[in-house]
Structure 1
Amino acid sequence: MNELLALELTRTIRMTQDGPADTIATPEGLATWIREHAPELSDDLRQEEPVADEDLRRRVVAVRSAVRALFARAVAPSRPSAADAGRLPDPDDALALLNEVAALAPVTPRLDWPVGEAPLVRQVPSAPDPGDRLLAALARAAIGLLGGPLRAQLRTCLAPRCVLYFVKEHGRQEWCSTACGNRARAARHYERHRAGRVR
């Protein structure tokens, strides 16, 4: 499972010039997001895409809220994302939901053994409903990230107006992207010059 899929789920909330935007605010947006992230999802989901209706969208949003609540807990004592100020579920409730959703699709081992190659064991979700498999995959990705070594590198982007979390890749990284870094440096430069004029 690709743990970074959980990070991608949290990035469906982002800041635009017009304010916060939600990529999965509609079933159509969710369907597009699922197709864009198909390579990161299980083989089982790639063969049978879930129907992105309003019910599945609401369930995915609930998982996203739980993941964001636990990301906020993981980055503490640093500040959580500004998008989440006062709107996140209780971390204990978020944890319970994530564990419950991860269990929606039991996993069974499957042996693949192509001729002339070494055998490979894959864990395959066995729930009949593709929506349940999607939700379980998202929850398991979050569990993998939060329970593994990447949790220690999880950060909130410090750029003005950014609402994203990211995994820190090098020692001095403070932003989720180069664009956010440029925006933060420009804001600091502006503040220094403004403070110099005020004196």
Structure 2
Amino acid sequence: MLALEFVSTVRATRSGLVDALSDLPGMTGWGRAHAAELGLGPDFTAADDLRREVVELRQAARALFARAVAPGPPSAADADRLPDFAASLDLVNAAALAVPSAPRLEWPEDGSPFAVNVPAGGTDESSRVRAALASAVISLLAGPERERLRTCPAPRCVLYFIKEHGRQEWCSVGCGNRARAARHYRQHRAG
């Protein structure tokens, strides 16, 4: 899910927080890994303005995700540095509206027809990328998945995830194991 992958470009590792979009090689790699969803070519190379604008959009999306999981806690990665909610909402909406899209019919010879949304008219690369990302964020937050959006409570984890089943508490098995180990350590240390 593009919106979750986008806000998850801020991750925690054993050595601390890592921002996959902190520099041009990181933005270039992430853009190439998501080229089909973002309408980018295989030779995409990020410019600094695009990287800066995408990071600003990501922080706005993270502010909206923080509001979506309330009254639960937001991600610990940047809860104290998130931009204002209203400004974040305006930025995400403006980015999505900057590039009008239209449905285009695709019909492979050996398959069924399907529609894809494509940019309607010429737009610059940064606007197209931000519009695709903002649209993905809007789709997630306006759709039924929002009710299942959670912040992972595992130690050192800063990710948001979609709760897939009733008993799921963490974003991954690894986070669940880390949380259980930390709980076990606390119980035996106190005892």
Q: TM-score, normalised by structure 1?
A: 0.89
**Counterpart of 2:190?**
195
Instruction: Supply the AA of the counterpart residue of 2:78.
Output: D
Instruction: Supply the AA of the counterpart residue of 1:179.
Output: G
TM superposition shift of 1:112: 3.4
| 1:12 to 2:9 alignment | yes
1:4-26: CA deviation from partner (whole Å, max 9, x where unpaired) = 20100111111112211101100
| 1:122 to 2:119 alignment | no
Q: What secondary structure does 1:78 align onto?
A: coil
* Structure 1 CA distance for aligned equivalents of residues 93 and 5 of structure 2: 19
| 1:169 to 2:170 alignment | no
TM superposition shift of 1:178: 0.8
Residue ranges of structure 1 left out of the alignment (5+ in a row): none
Residue ranges of structure 2 left out of the alignment (5+ in a row): none
* Structure 1 CA distance for aligned equivalents of residues 41 and 10 of structure 2: 27
Higher mean C-alpha deviation, range 116-125 or range 178-187 = 116-125
**Counterpart of 1:90?**
84
CA change 1:130–1:185 in 2 (3 A) is: same
Contact residue 49 and residue 130 of structure 1 kept, 8 A: no
1:23-55: CA deviation from partner (whole Å, max 9, x where unpaired) = 11001100100111224x05xx14476541111
Pick the aligned partner of 1:184 from 179, 182, 185. Answer: 179
Q: Pairwise CA RMSD of aligned residues?
A: 1.7
* Structure 1 CA distance for aligned equivalents of residues 104 and 181 of structure 2: 53
Q: Which has the higher contact order (CA 8 A, sep 6+)?
A: 1
% same residue: 56
**Counterpart of 2:71?**
77
Where do 4+ consecutive residues of structure 1 move more than 6 Å?
none
Q: How many residues align?
A: 190
TM superposition shift of 1:109: 2.6
Q: What secondary structure does 1:64 align onto?
A: helix
* Structure 1 CA distance for aligned equivalents of residues 94 and 70 of structure 2: 24
CA change 1:54–1:26 in 2 (3 A) is: same
CA change 1:20–1:47 in 2 (3 A) is: closer
Q: TM-score, normalised by structure 2?
A: 0.92
* Structure 1 CA distance for aligned equivalents of residues 143 and 97 of structure 2: 19
Higher mean C-alpha deviation, range 137-146 or range 107-116 = 107-116
**Counterpart of 2:61?**
67
1:92-113: CA deviation from partner (whole Å, max 9, x where unpaired) = 1110000000012111232334
Contact residue 23 and residue 51 of structure 2 kept, 8 A: yes
* Structure 2 CA distance for aligned equivalents of residues 98 and 147 of structure 1: 13
